Amino acid sequence: MAYLISLSRRLRETPFTPGVEATGVKAYTVYNRMLLPTVFEDMESDYHHLKEHVQVWDVSVERQIELNGADAARLMQMLTPRDLRKMQLDQCHYVPIVDENGKMLNDPVAIKHSDARWWISIADSDLLFWVKGLALGAGLDVNVFEPDVSPLAVQGPKSGALMERVFGPDVHDIRFFRHKRMAFMDTSFIVARSGYSKQGGYEIYVAGSQHGMPLWDALFKAGEDLNVRPGCPNLIERVESGLLSYGNDMTMDNTPLECGLGKYCKPVEGLEHVGREALALEAALGPERQIRAISILGEALGHARTAWPLIEDGARVGQVTSAAWSPDFRTNVAIGMVDAVHWSPGTELFVETPQGLREARVRGRFWN
Amino acid sequence: MAYLISLSRRLRETPFTPGVEATGVKAYTVYNRMLLPTVFEDMESDYHHLKEHVQVWDVSVERQIELNGADAARLMQMLTPRDLRKMQLDQCHYVPIVDENGKMLNDPVAIKHSDARWWISIADSDLLFWVKGLALGAGLDVNVFEPDVSPLAVQGPKSGALMERVFGPDVHDIRFFRHKRMAFMDTSFIVARSGYSKQGGYEIYVAGSQHGMPLWDALFKAGEDLNVRPGCPNLIERVESGLLSYGNDMTMDNTPLECGLGKYCKPVEGLEHVGREALALEAALGPERQIRAISILGEALGHARTAWPLIEDGARVGQVTSAAWSPDFRTNVAIGMVDAVHWSPGTELFVETPQGLREARVRGRFWN
C-alpha cells in the first residue's frame, strides 16, 4: 500500500523546497522534523543516474548545531569518544555521540570553526536537546542553537566538473572529508568533499536561507550539458556502499562498537567524555553483535519498513534493517545487525521477510 | 500537489499499525519519528463522524518519558515552571517545558506514579534528550528512558458508552484530566479522561505492545452498533477547539506566555526550575505577541504548510500557523500568533495565503 504524507508547518520546508517540487519530487520522508525528498523519477532510475552523472540533493535535514562560547571545545569533547585534540580547522570529523551508557544518540559530522565555535551536522534525532541539556546541567559557558544553515549536496561522478563551473577550479584542492570556504555571488559558503553516497561529491553548507534558490538555480544552469538532475540519498546505493542510517540500522539500543565505529572510540588516557566507562568495558569484552553486509537470495524484495528477524536453527540471531534490490549486483543488498557467533563472512542464515522466509548470507564487506 | 510518504524502520510503526492499515488509513504524518494517521475517509467526513459518534485513535506518537529514581521528583520540577508540589497521584498535569531562556521545548502531560516515578507524555520533539542531558549534567540520581507505552485514544460523544462496554461502569468515575487503573483481559492500563479533541473522551496508556491489537479489536467489536470508526486528531476540530500543536502553532522561538500558557507559569516564591529568571522577566513586562483565534474570510482555503504572514498597513504583525475550512462554522478557522498592538478581538488584518491576500479577523475565543 502507498500512503500520502500530510504536510504542515511542523514538517519543515527547506530553502530548496521550491526547486525540489518544481523539478518533480514524488515522495518525501521526514528527518529532523523536516522534509527530505526520497524519489524523483523512480528509485532505480535515480540510482542509475547517480552512478553515471551528477545530482543536486536537498539535504537541509542535516541540521547544524552550533556550539559557541568559551566552553565550546570542552563541551564538544564531552560529547564524543573520538579524540578531537588534533583536529584541524579544515577537517570534517565523523563523531559518534553516546549517552552515559555508551548508547548511540546520533552519528553526526563535526566542523571546527575555532576552539570557541563548532558545527555538528546531525542525523535524525534532536541532538540539540542533549547538547543544551548537558551544557545547562553542567553549568558550561556556551550558547547552543540551530543556525540558519542548510546543506546542499552535489553527488555523482561528474560532481567535480559541475562544482568547478560554479565555484572555480580551486574546488579540486579540497581533499576527502576536508572543507574550504568558497565564494558564490556576493557571499561564500563552507564547501566540504563529503556526502551520503560513494559516488564522489561535495556538500555546500548554505548559511542564510535566502541564498538557497540562487545556488540551486546556478547549479542546474551550469550543469545542463552534464545531465544534472535533482536527487536524494538513494536507498539502493547507500546499502551497496554500507552507509548506515541512524534510526534504521542503529538506534539508541546500539553502541558504536556494534555499529562498526570502534576506530572512533578507542579509549584514550586522560580523555574525558560521556560514556567513557561503558565504552571501555565494552571495548574490553567485545561487542555482542555487529553491523554486517547481508545478501538476501532470490527475487527482488520490497524495502524494509520494520526490522526483519535473522534466524538460525529456529532462533533469532539478528535482524535486517535496510534492504533493496540491486540492479548492478543482481541480489537483494541489505544491512543487518548479527550476533557474534553468526557474524563471520559466509555464514548462512534465514531472514523473515514480508514475502516469506529467504536464505541470506553474511558478507565480509559491502558492495561499493 | 500530493506526495507519497516513503516508509522505513526510522519512521516507527506502532502496536496499532496493523489495525490502522486494515481499516483504511489514507495518509500519515510523522511525529516523534513515528507514524501518526491523519486521514481515514476524508478530513471532513472524519470531522463530522468525530462530532457525532466515537472514534479510536492511534496516538502512540505521544511517547512517554519515564523518570525513575531518587531524584525523579526534583528533576520533574526542574523541568517545568508549573508548581507540582500539590499534584495528586490521579491527576494529569499539562506541563510546559522551557529552556534556560524561557523558550518552549515541548508541551506535554505528566502523570505521577509516585515521587520516584513519573511519565511525561510528549509532543513532537525529542524531549528525552533534554531530560537525559540535564540529569547527567546536573549529576542527578535518576534513570530517564522511553518505556514501551503507547496511548490509544477513544474520542467523541459516544466515547463513554464504548469505554463502559470494555472497561466497565467505573470508567464514568474518572473526572476530566484525572486517571485510574482499569483492568483489561489479564492486564490493566492507566485510563485518563483526556484527549486531543473537545468532543469528550479517554486516553488509554497501553503498557506492553503485545496488548495493543487485542485492545484495538475489543473496542471495535464492542462498538459496532455505536458506529465506532478509526480516527485521528482532526485538523478542523482541533483548530475550532483551539488545541495548539507544538511545531505548528508554537516552536522553540516562543514562550509559554506567548502561547497563552501563563496560568501554568506563574512565578512561585522558592520554586526552582529551568527558565525561572527569563519567565519572571517576561511576566513582568508582558508578552510581545500571543496566540489568537483568527477567522479568515472568503471561500475555503487549503491547509497551511508554512506560516502565513498577517499584515496591517503593509507591515507584518503576526502569522497564521494552522488553518482549515470549518463546515459547521462556515468560515476558515485559524490559529495565529499576533503582535500585542493588533491582538484585540475584532481587529481587522490581512493574511497572505497561497490563494492570495485575504481579510482576517482576530477573535476573542475559539469556536468550540
pLDDT tens digits for B65-94? 999 999 999 999 999 999 999 999 999 999
Task: Tell me if residue A276 falls in helix, strand or coil.
Answer: helix
Q: How many residues does chain A have?
A: 368
- Partners of A99 on chain B (C-beta within 8 Å) are 132, 136
- Partners of B30 on chain A (C-beta within 8 Å) are 5, 11, 29-30, 33
pLDDT at B1: 78
- Partners of A306 on chain B (C-beta within 8 Å) are 9, 13
**Looking at CA atoms only, how far is residue B24 from chain A in angstroms?**
10
Q: What is the average pLDDT across B121-130?
A: 98
- pLDDT 10s digits, A186-232: 999 999 999 999 999 999 999 999 999 999 999 999 999 999 999 99
pLDDT at A37: 98
- pLDDT 10s digits, B181-210: 999 999 999 999 999 999 999 999 999 999
- Which whole-number Å values give the CA distances from B288 to B173, B180, B285, B317, in the listed order? 42, 40, 9, 11
**Looking at CA atoms only, how far is residue A171 from chain B in angstroms?**
34
Q: Which residue of B has its CA nearest to A319?
A: B9
Q: What is the DSSP letter of B204?
A: E
CA distance B197 to B232: 10
pLDDT at B325: 98
B21:A27 CB<8 A: no
- Partners of B274 on chain A (C-beta within 8 Å) are 136
- Substitution target in B46, B74, B103, B126 with the highest count of A β-carbons within 10 Å is B126
pLDDT at B56: 98
- pLDDT 10s digits, A26-43: 999 999 999 999 999 999
Q: What is the mean pLDDT of chain A?
A: 97
Confidence of residue B26 (pLDDT cuts 50, 70, 90): very high
Q: What is the average pLDDT across A236-244?
A: 98
Q: Which residue of B has its CA nearest to A32?
A: B33
How is residue A276 written as a grid cell? 567513557
pLDDT at B170: 98
Q: H or E segment at A79?
A: helix A72-79
In sequence order, what are the beta bridge partners of A330?
none
CA distance A130 to A99: 9
- Which whole-number Å values give the CA distances from A258 to A104, A124, A290, in the listed order? 10, 19, 4
How is residue B160 written as a grid cell? 463513554
Largest alpha-carbon pair distance within chain B?
Answer: 64
- Partners of A1 on chain B (C-beta within 8 Å) are 21
Q: What is the average pLDDT across B133-143?
A: 96
- Which whole-number Å values give the CA distances from B335 to A63, B96, B234, B237, in the listed order? 27, 19, 14, 12
List all residues 6 or more positions away from A306 whose beta carbon is below 8 Å from its beta carbon.
B9, B13
pLDDT at B78: 97
Helix A127-137 vs helix A72-79: angle between axes, to the nearest 10 degrees?
A: 120
Q: What is the average pLDDT across B139-145?
A: 97
Q: Which residue of B has its CA nearest to A140?
A: B137
- Substitution target in A6, A30, A98 with the highest count of B β-carbons within 10 Å is A6
Count of CB pairs separated by less than 8 Å, A with B: 176
Rg (chain B; Cα; Å): 21
In 3D space, the residue among B141, B88, B80 whose CA is nearest the CA of residue B116 turns out to be B141
pLDDT at A44: 98
Q: Assess whether pLDDT exceeds 90 at residue A286.
A: yes
CA distance B333 to B341: 22
Question: Do B28 and B132 touch, CB atoms closer than 8 A?
Answer: no
CB-nearest partner of B129 from A10, A130, A303: A130
How is residue B42 written as a grid cell? 476524508
Q: How many residues does chain B have?
A: 368
**Looking at CA atoms only, how far is residue B289 from chain A in angstroms?**
19
Q: Assess whether pLDDT exceeds 90 at residue A3.
A: yes
Confidence of residue A1 (pLDDT cuts 50, 70, 90): confident
Q: What is the average pLDDT across B84-105?
A: 97
- Partners of A137 on chain B (C-beta within 8 Å) are 133-139
